[in-house]
Chain A
Amino acid sequence: MAQGEKQRSVLRINLDILNAVRDEGEAKPTHILYKANLSHERLVKYLDDLTAKGLIEMKQEGENRTYSLTPKGVGFIIEMRHAESFVQGFGLNI
C-alpha cells in the first residue's frame, strides 16, 4: 500500500488541522476542512477536542466562526516537528 493510501493516525490528523490553522492565522472551518481533508462531522469532533486541550481557540462573530492557535498550540507544533524529524530518522512515520 502506498503511503498516501495509508490511514492517517489521530495525531497526524490533529497535526494537519493545527498546521492548517497556523497557515491561515484565523482559519474558517471550511478552510481547515479542505486543508486537513476531513468530513464536516469528523472535523467538528477534532476541533472540539483540540479546543478542549487548549491548542486552538475559537472566536465567534455573528455567524462567522474562526479558529486560531494558542501559544500552547504553537509550542505543540514545534515539539511535534522535532519529534517527527527524529521519528523519520529511524525510518518511521507518525
Chain B
Amino acid sequence: MKAERRKLASGAFIIFCLNITSALVALLTSYYAYKANRLVSSSVLWAISIGFMLLGFGLVVDAGTSLISGRTLVDITGRTAGESFSDRVLTLLASLTYLTLQMVAYLVIAIGYARSTYGRQLSTAAPAAAVGSALLSLYSFAILSYFVTLMILAFIVFQGLLLRSGHGGRLSGMVLLAFVLVLVAHCVLLVSVLVLGPGLFLIGITVQFLGFLSLLIFVVRSEVVGPG
C-alpha cells in the first residue's frame, strides 16, 4: 500500500516536472509573440500571445496541483483531517482553474487564427459555452473541457494546415507538429478522464510535453535562423 502510494507520488512529481517545463515554453512563446506583435501589430499574434500566456499560467496551476497531490500521498499519515480537506479543496479549485484557463487559452488562439482566415465575423457561441460549462461539476466539467479543448485544437490544426499550405515558412511544420501533439495528448487525456486511468493521464501529459518541446525547438530556431 505504501509502495503504491510512493509510486503514485513519483508519477505526480513527473507530471509536475513536465507541466512546469511546458508552462515555461508556453510563457516563452507568449513573450516572443508579444515581441513580434510590437513590430508587426497583428491580431493573430496578439491572440497567440494572450493564449499562450493563459496556457502557461494554467500549466503552472496544474503543476502546483500535482505537487500538492504528491505531497499528500507521501505524507498522508502525518496530515490532520483538516489539512487533508484543505488540500482536496485546493486541488479541486486548482483543477477548475487549470481546465478553464486551458479552454479559454485555446479558444483565444483559435479565434485569432479564425480572424486571420475568415475575417472578423465570428460566432460568440464558443465563449458562451465556456462560461456555461464552468457551472457544471468538476468531473463533467473536466470531460466537457477536454472535449471542447479537443474541438478547438482540431480547429487550430485545421487552420494551421490551411495557412501553411498558403504561405508557411520552413519552421511552420514544427508549430503544426506542436499543435498536433497537443491535440493527440488531449485525446489521450479525455480517455484517461473517462476511464479514470492514471497511466493514460501520464502518457497524455508526456505527449503534451513533447508538443511544447517541438514549440521550444521552433522558438529557439526562429531566433537563430532567419525566415524561410
What is A's interface to B at a CB cutoff of 8 Å?
Answer: 3, 11, 79-94
Cross-chain contact A85 with B44 (CB below 8 angstroms) = no
Beyond known contacts A85-B223, A86-B36, A90-B48: 11 more, CB 8 A cutoff: A11-B40, A11-B41, A81-B226, A82-B223, A83-B39, A85-B221, A85-B225, A85-B228, A86-B219, A90-B45, A91-B164
Q: Given A85-B171, A86-B36, A92 and B226 touching (CB < 8 A)?
A: no
- Give which listed residue, A82, A85, A86, A92, contacts B163 with CB less than 8 A: A92
Interface: B132 (CB within 8 A): no
B15 shortest CB reach to chain A, Å: 28
Q: How far is the CB of A17 from chain B (nearest CB, A)?
A: 16
In the complex, the answer to whether A89 meets B40 with C-beta atoms within 8 Å is: no
Q: Does B168 contact A (CB under 8 A)?
A: yes
Dominant secondary structure of chain B at its interface with chain A:
helix
Q: Which residue of B lies closest to A90 (CB)?
A: B175
Give which listed residue, A79, A81, A91, A94, contacts B175 with CB less than 8 A: A91
Does any Cβ of A come within 8 Å of B166's Cβ?
A: yes
Complex CA distance for A11 and B169, rounded to whole angstroms = 18
Residue of A11, A81, A85 with most partner-chain B CB within 10 A: A85
Report which residue of A80, A81, A84, A91 has the largest number of chain B beta carbons within 10 angstroms of its beta carbon.
Answer: A91
- The interface residues of chain A lying within 8 Å CB-to-CB of B97 are none
Q: How far is the CB of B223 from chain A (nearest CB, A)?
A: 6
B145 to chain A, nearest CB (A): 24
Shortest CB-to-CB span from A18 to chain B, Å, is 12
Q: At the interface, is chain A mostly helix, strand, loop or mixed?
A: helix
Cβ of B10 within 8 Å of any chain A Cβ, yes or no, is: no
Q: Are B169 and A88 in contact (CB under 8 A)?
A: yes
Q: Which residues of A contact B72 (CB under 8 A)?
A: none
Q: How far is the CA of A3 from the CA of B163 in the complex (A)?
A: 12
Contact of A88 among B33, B35, B162, B171 (CB under 8 A): B171
Kindly identify which residue among B176, B221, B227 contacts A81, using a CB–CB cutoff of 8 Å. Answer: B227
The 9 lowest CB-CB distance pairs between A and B, nearest first, are: A88-B169, A91-B163, A83-B36, A85-B222, A84-B227, A89-B171, A85-B227, A91-B164, A91-B168
Contact of B172 among A82, A84, A91 (CB under 8 A): A91
Closest Cβ neighbor of B109 among chain A residues: A90
Interface centre among A81, A83, A89 (most CB of B within 10 A): A89
Interface residues of B in 116-174 (CB under 8 A from A): 116, 159-160, 162-164, 166-172, 174
Give A79 to B39 CA distance when docked, in angstroms.
8
Docked-complex contact B48 and A89, CB < 8 angstroms = no
Choose among B41, B160, B174, B227 the residue with the greatest number of A CB atoms under 10 Å from its CB. B227
Q: Is the CB of A85 within 8 A of B40?
A: no
Instruction: Assess whether B33 is in contact with A89, with CB atoms less than 8 Å apart.
Output: no
Across the interface, A84 reaches (CB within 8 A) one of B166, B168, B226, namely B226
Name A80's closest neighbour in chain B (CB-CB): B39
* Cβ 8 A contact of B42, one of A3, A85, A87, A91: A87
